[in-house]
Amino acid sequence: MYDKRFFPVSAEEMALRGWDWYDFLIVNGDAYVDHPSFGSVVIARVLEAEGFRVGYLSQPDWHSADAFRAMGRPRLGVMISAGNLDSMVAHYTAAKKRRRQDAYSPGNRPGLRPDRATLVYANRVREAFGPIPLIIGGLEASLRRFAHYDYWSDKVRRSLLFDCRADLLVYGMGEAASREIALRLKAGEPVSALTDIRGTSFSAKSADECAFPWVDVPSFEDVAADKTAYARANKVEYEEHDPIRGRAILQRHGDRILVTNPPQMPLTTQELDRVAELPYVRDYHPMYRDQGGVPAIEEVRFSVTHNRGCIGGCNFCALAFHQGRMMTCRSIESVEREVTLLTKHPLFKGYIHDVGGPTANLRRPVCKKQLREGMCAHRVCLAPKPCPNLIADESEYLALLRRLRRIPGVKKIFVRSGIRYDYMLCDKKDDFFRELVKYHISGQLKVAPEHCIDSVLDYMGKSHIDVYERFQQKYQALNRSAGKEQYLVPYLMSSHPGSRLEDAIALAEYLNRTHRLPEQVQDFYPVPGCLSTCMYYTGIDPRTMKPVFVERDPHGKALQRALLQYRAPENWKLVKEALVKAGREDLIGFEERCLIRPYPPKHREEPKKRDRRDAEPSGRGGRQSRRSREKPGQTGKKRSDLNPNRNKKKK
C-alpha cells in the first residue's frame, strides 16, 4: 500500500522513507487526496518544495491524543485545517439536519471528522505535544478569524484563534504566509515573534504589537451583546479586506487583543504557476482503496483551476472574505502543461470536465484603479449595475480555451464552474459567448440569478433580473444559430435576508410565467463571517446600517422554499398555506397563472379534464420521470430551466 509519491501518513511510512524526524505535522479534516484542489495538500507541497519534511495526518481519531502522537513530535510545528469546508457546513444542512454523506471522506461516510474540527484537533495537539508552535488555517479558520455569529449554536463566538489557543491563524489563500512562517521558525525565531506576517492573526497584549497601520472594531463582548455593534464590526472587516489599501484590524477579547494583519498580496502569475505545477499525485491515498475511495476526487480529477478571486462579491458567498475580490490567474502555458499531463492519465477519456475557478470567465483585474488603489470599499464591480470603470475582456480566457482544444488527446473541454453572465454581457465582443455555446457546454450551463425581485437581489449583492433575462435571450439565440439544444440551469435561493413571503410568491409567479421548473434550490445558509450572515443575525444591513427583514422561523423558511418548487406534489400543502397566508388565493385554481390546483395531487375528486401542464407526458410540470423525457444523446440533462422553444415545439 505504501506509495512514496504521497506524504507519509504513519510512523511506518516515515521509516520506509528513512526518516526518524520531520519538520511539520499537517492535520486535516478531509481524507488525504493529493490534488491541488485540496488546500492542505497545497500547503504541504509548498513546504516540501522549500525542503521541509512533512507528515500528513488525515481525519485522525479525535477521541484521544494517541493518533496525534503516532508519528512523533514534529521538529518545528503543527498546522491544522478542518478541510475544504467549514466542518459545520460539511455536517449539517441549512435546516440543521445531519447530512447523510460526506464526499470528502472515504466511501462517502459521514462522521469521520468532529464538529468544529479545527478546535477539537487543536485541543488534541496541545494534549499530545504541549507547548509547540500551533498554526490553524483553511476555510473554517479564515471565516471565523473574528468574533462571529455561529448559526448552529445561535450565538456569537470568539475568534477561533482564542478558542483553539493557537499561536497563529492563517486566513485566505495561505501559501505565502505558511512559507514565511515555516522559514522563520526554521531560522530559529520563536513563534511569538511572528507578528508581522500578512494574512495572519495573533493574540496581543497591546496595540503596540501591531506592525501595520490599524483600525479597531467593537470588542467580542460588545458584538455579543449589541447587534448594532456586530454590524459595524462586520462592515469594517469587509472594507479592510484588501491587500493594497487594507489596514490591520484590532478586536479586543477580554484582556487580550486579536490582531488581524492585512491580507497577503495575491500570488503573481509566476507564483501561481509554480504552486499549480508541484508534484501532486492527483489521486487519493492507497489506504482508501478498500473503503470505496474518496468521492470528491471525481469532480476535480480532470478539471483545471486557472484563476483565483471573484469580483462579484456576493454577500452570501465566502469567496470575498477568503480568496478576496482581486483576480489573479495562471499563465496559458502552465494550464496547457497541466492538461497535457492529464491526457496521459490512465483513466483519461478525452474530456476535461472544467477549466474554471471561483468564476470561470475572469482572469485579470477588471479596472486600472485596482492595481494602484485596491478594490473599492463601498461598491462591487457588477451589482446592481456594472461600474463605469469596468474593463470587460474575455479574449484571454478564450485564447486559453482555444489552445487547450488543440492538445492531442483532448476531445472536449467543458466549462462547468460558475459563469458571471453579467460580466459576459459587458464584453462588447461576443466571440467567447459564441464559442462557449459551440464547444464548451455539456448540455447545460449553470448560472446563478438567485432571485427575480430587485430589492432581494440588492441584499444579495447580485445583478437585477433584467440582466439575466438579456443573457438568457442571447443564449437561446446563439444556441439556435449553432443548431444546438442546450439549457440553462439557474441556481435559486430562498429565505435570503430581505426576502418576504410575498417576494417568494412573486418568484414562483415568475417561474410559472417563464415556464421554469428548478430542480436545484438552496435555502439561505448563514456561513460564518459573510455580510448576509450579519443581516440574518442582526436584522441590519451592515452596508447601510438600515433594518432588513429576516425570515428566521423554520416553518416560514419552509414556505419560501416550497414556493420555488411549487409543482412538486409534496409541496402542495405548504404552497397552499403560503398563498392563503399572503392573501393570494387567486393563484389557486385552473388558470394558466395559477400555481396549484384547489385539491391535492391525485385527489379522488380531480376532474377528468386536466390542464395540459398537469398531464403526465407534459414537457413542463408533469410528474413523468426525467429519463423518460430525454432524447437520444441527452442522458443526464436536467429539466431545470428548459428552453421555452422546446415547449413551443411540443404544442
Nearest Cα residue to 490 out of 459, 456, 514:
514
What is the C-alpha separation between 551 and 498, in angstroms, rounded? 8
Query: Quick one: pLDDT at residue 620?
Result: 28
**Per-residue pLDDT at 601:** 86
344 has pLDDT over 80: yes
CATH of domain 302-442: 3.30.750.210
- The pLDDT of residue 538 is 98
Is the confidence at residue 632, as pLDDT, over 50? no
Q: Give long-range contacts, CB 8 A cutoff, 24+ apart: 227-232.
A: 227/537, 227/538, 227/539, 227/540, 228/538, 228/540, 228/545, 230/149, 230/156, 230/534, 230/537, 230/538, 231/534, 231/538, 231/540, 231/541, 231/542, 231/545, 232/542, 232/545
- Give the three-class secondary structure for 227: helix
Residue 604 confidence (pLDDT): 46
Beta carbons of 123 and 114 less than 8 angstroms apart: no
- For the four alpha carbons of 441, 444, 446 and 448, in that order, the dihedral sign comes to positive
pLDDT of residue 630 exceeding 50 = no
**Average confidence (pLDDT) over 332-342:** 98
Q: Is pLDDT at 647 greater than 80 in this prediction? A: no
The amino acid that residue 88 corresponds to is M
CA distances from 411 to 343, 349, 400, 553, 635 (A): 10, 8, 16, 50, 19
Query: Among the listed ranges 342-356, 594-608, 611-625, which one has the minimum average pLDDT value?
Result: 611-625
Which of 54-63, 193-202, 364-373 has the lowest average pLDDT?
Answer: 364-373
Sign of the C-alpha dihedral computed for residues 599, 604, 609 and 615 taken in this order: positive
Q: What is the pLDDT of residue 418?
A: 84
Burial label, 304 (beta-carbon count in 10 A; 0-12, 13-18, 19+): buried
In this prediction, residue 626 carries a pLDDT of 30
Given a cut of 60, whether residue 213 has pLDDT beyond it is yes
- Is the pLDDT score of 633 beyond 60? no
* pLDDT of the residue at 516: 85
Closest CA to 77 of 128, 113, 25, 29: 25
pLDDT at 437 over 50: yes
Residue 625 clears pLDDT 90, i.e. is over it: no
CA torsion, ordered 29, 31, 37, 43, to nearest 10 deg: 60
| Average confidence (pLDDT) over 541-552 | 97
| 547 upstream amide cis, omega within 30 of 0 | no
What number is the average pLDDT over the span 578-588?
Answer: 97
pLDDT of 527 > 60? The answer is yes
At 517, the pLDDT band (50, 70, 90 cuts) reads confident
Domains 302-442 and 447-651 share a fold: yes
Contact 94, 106 (CB under 8 A): no
Closest CA to 439 of 408, 473, 414, 471: 414
pLDDT tens digits for 473-508?
A: 999 999 999 999 999 988 999 999 999 999 999 999
Q: Is the pLDDT of residue 371 over 90?
A: no
Instruction: Report in angstroms the alpha-carbon separations of 491 from 192, 449, 452, 469, 494.
Output: 46, 6, 12, 14, 10
For residues 382 and 544, give the distance between their C-alpha atoms in angstroms, rounded to a whole number: 18
Determine the pLDDT at residue 442.
87
The helix/strand/coil state of 312 is coil
* pLDDT (tens digit per residue) in 126-137: 999 999 999 999
- Label residue 518 by pLDDT band (50, 70, 90): confident
Q: Report the chain's mean pLDDT, rounded to a whole number.
A: 91
**In angstroms, rounded to a whole number, what is the distance separating the alpha carbons of residues 42 and 358?**
17
Q: What is the pLDDT at residue 650?
A: 41
CB-based contacts of 32: which residues, under 8 Å, 6+ apart?
6, 7, 9, 41, 56, 58, 284, 285, 287, 288
Per domain, the residue ranges of the chain are: 11-260, 302-442, 447-651
Phi first, then psi, for residue 532 (nearest 5°) are -65, -35
Average pLDDT over residues 540-550: 97
CB 38 within 8 A of CB 97: no
Q: What is the pLDDT of residue 618?
A: 28
Res 252 pLDDT > 50: yes
The pLDDT of residue 452 is 96
Give the max Cα distance, the chain. 84
pLDDT for the residue 610: 38
Alpha carbon distance 146, 322 (integer Å): 13
39-49 and 269-276 helices, crossing angle to 10°: 100
**88 bridge partner residues:** none
At the fourth CATH level, the homologous superfamily of domain 11-260 is Cobalamin-binding domain (3.40.50.280)
pLDDT band per the 50, 70, 90 thresholds, residue 639: very low
pLDDT above 80: residue 455? yes
Predicted local distance difference test score (pLDDT) of residue 646? 42
Average pLDDT over residues 368-385: 89
Question: What is the per-residue pLDDT for 611?
Answer: 37
Q: In the structure, what pLDDT confidence band is assigned to residue 628 with cuts at 50, 70 and 90?
A: very low
For cell 488555517, the residue is 137
Candidate from 174-183, 229-238, 354-363, 578-587 with smallest mean pLDDT: 354-363
Q: Which residues make beta-bridge pairs with 78?
A: 25, 134
**Protein fold of 447-651:** Transcription Regulator spoIIAA (3.30.750)
Q: Give the chain's end-to-end CA distance (angstroms, integer).
A: 60
